[in-house]
Structure 1
């Protein structure tokens, strides 16, 4: 029997935010068993700890249909479970993932773990051909005129690649009618995991929706890795207020699915170049259980 838990990330309320499966003792599981357990849990992503010790935790991430390189909300969920289970008291800790090592920082209040911050790798960007603007808009169920001209439309990654599509306002964002097969095809053509639509709510606050049918997720409730890349993309383009060498903001996601969550992002700049990206959030335990690997 393999112990697992289900955790709501980027929220303090069970059942809200984004659900992640967490398996702390997966060292003896085969690839096929990890995939089977991820499919059994049906969470958008499940994180498996395959080795732990010496300030390093080796992990793998699976959607219900395939392995992926990294997942932000599952990382936050794992960090809180490690802290709540007594495996982590706030000392330096790194996750070893398929995208490299990801340092984690623990935030506490009165000695109680409350928030996990993860450092994402540096920002990478790719332009999106102008003629694809209409295709992306139509795939989201929109007219091209609803795309915001003052915010960046680009492919970007700080862990996983997404194409970021800015919209004029949150009313348009909430009313999207995505054509998932078309989004899947566009994602494959652009070499990205998802199409991430976003809209401004203030100078450093944004609402978002993330469609990832290419990896078996029609709509991801709250996406930490993409939120980090978005705020870094905006900071690098001069679209966020900067104090000293830092910009920060919040991304609100999940409202369209009835599971709202919040992702906090801090970006450190060296001139106009992004140097560091930190993504933080809370998490709440939903339930615990056991999976029979022999079935």
Structure 2
């Protein structure tokens, strides 16, 4: 059995920047254990699997090397890149996933791909986990929380860039991850994202968390359109527009690899979508 495999750098306009994702289009779902094994073998931050349900509408699932993920923004952009490249006439498509519902993807101006994501702002907390404070080398000014992550807010971009994270302590915060953020000097806001319990110490660029970061900074900066930078080793730019119920997150994508996965026929037992 042969499966197509693509690897795409997302939230960057240059190769070897942004965040890498693998994309595997399928004709039907494979067993979860096999999907997880493929993601572990790919060993990138996420592998997205797609099954077309009707023209322009795909079911999507995301797997890190360790576990299935509820929502992954950069792998969604990477998947849209693959679909758009295979069908140059396609201008808009829809991905659906149980945890986030429908995600609309559009071709944007200047080669951008725009994703419409649910608005998921963080909320205030009355008690901060001690593992969070001990797991970050610099104390935050404020801590908020969403279903996805703890938000550690700093006053200055330099703190976000320079702080160090203790993976053993942050792992204890599972299933939530940790995002650190501050106002930016050349962009509206910056961030870094740590997820040792679900994928790795630091994610390169995390599209999904901007469904929470963009509403947070839109309210504090008094504007709905924002430019963001995730200050990881590879770095990536995100262009965000905050609406009443949705957040539009845009970025560039670059194809790195196109290949074929070879699987023994005995592994291909299909199952219904999870």
* Shared fold per TM-score greater than 0.5: yes
Is 1:290 the equivalent of 2:271?
no
Report the CA distance between 1:135 and its aligned residue.
4.4
8 Å contact from structure 1 (residues 203, 240) kept in 2: no
Q: What secondary structure, in the 3-state scheme, does the structure 1 residue paired with 2:211 have?
A: helix
SS of structure 1 residue aligned to 2:30: coil
Runs of 4+ in structure 1 off by over 3 angstroms are: none
Q: 2:212 aligns with which of 202, 205, 229?
A: 229
Q: Is the 8 A contact 1:9 1:281 kept in 2?
A: yes
Counterpart check, 1:164 vs 2:151: yes
How far apart are 1:29 and its partner, in Å? 2.5
Match of 2:225 among 248, 265, 269: 248
3-state SS of paired residue (1:215): coil
State which of 198, 217, 235 in structure 2 corresponds to 1:260.
Answer: 235
2:73 matched to which residue of 1?
72
Partner of 1:277: 247
Whether the 8 Å contact between 1:164 and 1:196 is mirrored in structure 2 is yes
Q: Partner of 1:46 in structure 2?
A: 47
Q: Could you list the per-position Cα deviations for residues 42-92 of structure 1 after superposition, in whole angstroms to 9, with x for gaps in the alignment?
A: 11001001234233111111000111111000001111111111176114x
Counterpart in the other structure of 1:217: 200
Shift of 1:148: 3.0
State the number of aligned residues: 263
Q: Is the Cα contact below 8 Å between 1:26 and 1:48 reproduced in 2?
A: no
Structure 2 counterpart of 1:140 = 136
Matched-pair contact (CA < 8 Å) for 1:4–1:21: yes
- 1:96 is displaced (CA, Å) by 1.1
Q: TM-score, normalised by structure 2?
A: 0.88
For residues 240 and 128 of structure 2, what CA distance do their matches in structure 1 show? 31
Which segments of 5 or more consecutive residues in structure 1 lack a partner in the other structure?
270-274
1:17 and 1:11 map into 2 onto residues whose CA distance is 5
- Matched residues in 1 for 2:186 and 2:236: separation? 19
CA contact (8 A) 1:156 1:233 kept: no
Partners of 2:37 and 2:237 lie apart in 1 by 30
Unaligned 5+ runs, structure 2: 268-274
Alpha-carbon displacement from aligned partner over 1:84-123 (angstroms, at most 9, x marks no partner): 11176114x21111221111222145xxxx1211111132
CA distance in 2, matches of 1:119, 1:136: 30
2:3 and 2:25 in contact (8 A); partners too? no
The 8 Å contact of residues 48 and 63 in structure 2, kept in 1 or not, is answered as yes
Query: For the Cα contact (< 8 Å) 2:7–2:258, is it kept in 1?
Result: yes
